[in-house]
Amino acid sequence: MEAEFPLSGGRVSKGVVRAGDTVRRPPTFNSPFVHKLLQHLAALNFDAAPRSYGCDEFGRDVFSYIGGEVPADLSWHSEDVLIDAARLIRRYHDMTEGLVASAAAQGLGLEVVCHNDLSPCNFVFRSGRPLAIIDFDSASPGPRLHDLGYAAWTWLNLGDDDIEADLQLRRLTTFCNAYDPDVDLARIVDFILQRQRILVAQGSRIGDAAMERWATDCLVWTTKHLHDTMVGASSDIE
């Protein structure tokens, strides 16, 4: 039996270990869907996500291990890195369209399989650049902008008062244009605010005061410096 080592870095869940070239983790209610998703990506030769190897003799989910560095916290990223991340997210989303291709899914606005936690802490980096997405436990069908809004929030670390608001708006434009040159920036901001409100409510519901406080501070910052600024600029044009 191969030796097992607890994984560190990123936001690792309890019980996640590395064994050789695999990662073993306790199953969740979403495990069957995650395995189907990763098998779908593998069939399309998407090389920026783990491979699914089913379950081991203990019932744990088994995935391929992707070597590199995984950030433990949000931080500053250069524009080149932001562009790499946005393009990788777009590639991932495009690869998942086939899983939600039914008319019923489209009618519900389910465009792709959202990862639902596309922060830098769920990306593997090498030489300072993001090359793979990991930790698909929360994946589910949804609209693209639901995923992109959260990604923009966390990759830019919106709410950090040490970064000027005008600079963040330029960085947000760069990030979103790398995902889709025709994206509506105001809609992205609406989805960022939506995800921030969700985390405020989640923090309150589970009694995580730190999460609730962080998300609330980010919500206030984003409303003031992005949403209200855009609304004001639009009014001036009219």
For residue 139, give the DSSP letter: -
Query: Does 123 reside within a domain?
Result: yes
Are both 43 and 143 inside the same structural domain? no
Asked which of 13, 39, 64 is the last residue of a domain, the reply is 64
Q: Which residue has the tokens 């793979």?
A: 132
Residue type, position 115, single letter = H
Query: Does 198 reside within a domain?
Result: yes
Q: For residues 158 and 168, is the Cβ–Cβ distance under 8 A?
A: yes
For residue 143, give the DSSP letter: -
Q: Which residue has the tokens 């920036």?
A: 185
Tens of pLDDT along 75-128? 999 999 999 999 999 999 999 999 988 877 777 778 999 999 999 999 999 999
Query: Does 74 reside within a domain?
Result: no
When the pLDDT of each residue in the chain is averaged and rounded to a whole number, the result is 92
Are both 39 and 134 inside the same structural domain? no
Q: Residue 180: beta bridge partners? A: none
Query: Does 70 reside within a domain?
Result: no
Are both 149 and 180 inside the same structural domain? yes
> Does the pTM exceed 0.95?
no
Query: Does 117 reside within a domain?
Result: yes
Are both 36 and 130 inside the same structural domain? no
* pLDDT over 50 at 235, yes or no: no
- Supply the pLDDT for residue 101: 82
Question: Residue-wise over 1-34: b if at least 16 C-beta within 10 A, else e?
Answer: eeeeeebeebebeeebebbeebbbbeeeeebebb
Are both 193 and 144 inside the same structural domain? yes
Are both 88 and 56 inside the same structural domain? no
Asked which of 14, 36, 64 is the last residue of a domain, the reply is 64
Are both 10 and 88 inside the same structural domain? no
Query: Does 47 reside within a domain?
Result: yes
Residue 204 to residues 153, 199, 209, 238, Cα–Cα distance (Å): 20, 8, 7, 39
Q: Residue 126: beta bridge partners? A: 129
Are both 86 and 166 inside the same structural domain? yes
- Supply the pLDDT for residue 104: 79
Query: Does 71 reside within a domain?
Result: no
* pLDDT over 80 at 153, yes or no: yes
Domain, as residue range, for 60? 4-64
CA distance 96 to 100: 7
Query: Does 155 reside within a domain?
Result: yes
Q: Which two tokens stand for residue 50?
A: 């783990």
User: What's the total number of domains in the chain?
Assistant: 2
CA distance 155 to 171: 10
Tens of pLDDT along 158-206? 999 999 999 999 999 999 999 999 999 999 999 999 999 999 999 999 9
For residue 120, give the DSSP letter: G
CA distance 6 to 14: 9
Are both 34 and 95 inside the same structural domain? no
Are both 206 and 172 inside the same structural domain? yes
* pLDDT over 90 at 11, yes or no: no
